[in-house]
Every structure is written in C-alpha cells, then in structure tokens.
Amino acid sequence: MAKDKLTLYKFPPPKAYIPALSNQTKNTLFNKVRIFTLILCLICSFSSEVKAQKILICT
C-alpha cells in the first residue's frame, strides 16, 4: 500500500496539475523578480559607490 501511494505521488495525471502549476509559478516568479528589483533599488540608492548601476537598474 505504501508503494502504491508513492507511485501515485510520483506520477500524477499531468493534465490535472500542469496548467494550474505553471500559472502559479509564473505569478510567483513575477513577484520574486519585482521584490528583488525593489530590494536592489534600495541597496543602490543607499550606496554611493554604484551610482552608474543605480541609474541603469532603478530607472
């Protein structure tokens, strides 16, 4: 019984979960990139050494 459950978890029907998963992954990726960019801009604005990068990234 344990082996059957493991095989079920390893190989679920692809059509059931792939569209929802890919949509969720896209949203998560977008949010992560947005947050990363915001953090990067904050670091840039507080650092006086990277003014050139600040202009490139934050505008």
Q: What is the pLDDT of residues 6-20, one digit of tens each?
A: 454 555 555 555 565
pLDDT for 1 equals 46
Q: What is the pLDDT of residues 21-32, one digit of tens each?
A: 566 777 787 888
Above 70 in pLDDT, residue 43? yes
Q: How far apart are CA 33 and CA 26, in angstroms?
A: 11
Predicted TM-score (pTM) of this structure: 0.38
Alpha carbon 10 to its chain's center: 23
Alpha carbon 5 to its chain's center: 30
pLDDT for 47 equals 66
Q: Considering the chain, what percentage of its residues have pLDDT values greater than 70?
A: 34
